[in-house]
Amino acid sequence: MKKVFASIIIFTIAFILLSADVYAFSLSVDPPSFKIKVKPGTSSTGTIKVKNEGDAEIGIKAYLGDWVFAPDGGKTFKAPATTVYSATQWVTISPDFLTLQPKEVKDVNYTIKFPENIQGGKVTVIFFETALGTAENEEGMTVKLAGRIGVIGYIEAENASNRIGEITKLEVSRPDENKPLTIKLKFKNTGDTYTLAKATANIIDQDGNVYGNIEIDKINTLPGDEIEKEGSWMGQLPEGQYDLIVTIDMGEENIPVISESKIIVTKSAEITDLNANSLPEKTDVSLNLKNTGNLTMDFSEGNIEILNVSGAVVAKERLQRTILLPDTAKEIKSSLSGGLVKGKYKVVVKLTYDDKVLQKETTIEIR
């Protein structure tokens, strides 16, 4: 087994900053966590190797505790046998105190006795704590110094656990080419054991081709937990329709949790607020051009025409090239030279993109 070193957190009964050179020590445990399946009514044993990585003798106390998952996926430690899914009351450790010389390794054994009629998963933590002595803080108060590491235990009733869950919410952002595609999901553990699951999302086109893969944070929960996770993808999708499929791998032979959402990538725009004001020597035209789609729009050509009631063009002005990113807008103003005589006119705006024409018109009347 590959040896894994767990970091030591030095803590005090008061919040003070102390010299790391004076109180430094290093401890390693192998393994840093364990997962065991136990048949109800039977027991199981295991061993943790504890090594003093420092250069001085240390005394280590071993004791049990509880923990729950924090909202960010970390762990919040609790007093022993105080949480709903605690296994601590069924765990014993031996020895519960040991002295280690520099670089020395010793074994600590644990035994788990699972009662009859137990179902689902339980958790515990085995702490290894060493006293570092005392020190005075800046106010002259004596504080006790200690450091500890914990070995996380996952314990499950063999053939009597139900690892299931559901995605209760799935939100997908606009698939704009100038922004990352983001996914937000909410997962609820509806089973009776823990999950150490992995979530991924695939973007698939109508022909079954995978365009993108999104890695989502780990789904670590205890029964009843409901957590939110998110992921993002920086790729670009061509115009079309796609399926986004989220899969939570529950591990081993458990059925994965799957949810789907449609993604539609379009190239579209609209002209709004088209106004025209005729003066004796010119006609001013203004409009708002908005990219309502997900891809960049390049309006390579465009013009404004004013037509009389018979359909003849009485004024015309060419518009400059306009490029709009997704979900952006631009106000366009133009002046057509020459005044208009009394009568009704039609103002027509035409903008060309990808051999297509976007058109908008309005009417004005000169009295």
Q: Pull the structure tokens for residue 237.
A: 């999708």
Give the Cα separation of 223 and 157 in Å (integer).
14
Rg (CA), the chain: 34
Confidence band, pLDDT 50/70/90 cuts, at residue 12: very low
Identify the H or E element spanning 22. Answer: helix 20-23
Give the Cα separation of 356 and 271 in Å (integer).
14
**Arithmetic mean of pLDDT over the chain:** 88
Percent of the chain whose predicted confidence (pLDDT) is above 90: 76
Helices (H), the chain: 20-23
Give the single-character DSSP code of 14. Answer: S
Distance between start and end Cα atoms, the chain: 92
Q: What is the mean pLDDT of residues 162-181?
A: 95
Q: What is the pLDDT of residues 235-254, one digit of tens each?
A: 999 999 999 999 999 987 89
Q: What is the mean pLDDT of residues 173-183?
A: 94
pLDDT higher than 80, residue 134? no
Percent of the chain whose predicted confidence (pLDDT) is above 70: 89
Give the Cα separation of 269 and 95 in Å (integer).
73
* Contact of 98 with 62, CB cutoff 8 Å: yes
pLDDT score of 281: 81
pLDDT higher than 80, residue 219? yes
Confidence band, pLDDT 50/70/90 cuts, at residue 160: confident
* Phi, psi dihedral angles at 205 (to 5 degrees): -85, 180
Q: What is the mean pLDDT of residues 228-235?
A: 94
pLDDT higher than 80, residue 106? yes
pLDDT higher than 50, residue 20? no
Chain centroid to Cα 119, Å, comes to 31
Three-state secondary-structure class, residue 20: helix
pLDDT score of 342: 86
* Contact of 269 with 327, CB cutoff 8 Å: no
Write out 188-217 in H/E/C secondary structure.
EECCCCCEEEEEEEEEEECCCCEEEEEEEE
pLDDT score of 9: 35
Q: What is the mean pLDDT of residues 175-189?
A: 95
Domains along the sequence of the chain with CATH: 9-157 (2.60.40.10), 165-265 (2.60.40.10), 269-366 (2.60.40.2360)
Give how far Cα 347 sits from Cα of 18, 314, 320, 341, Å.
78, 10, 18, 15
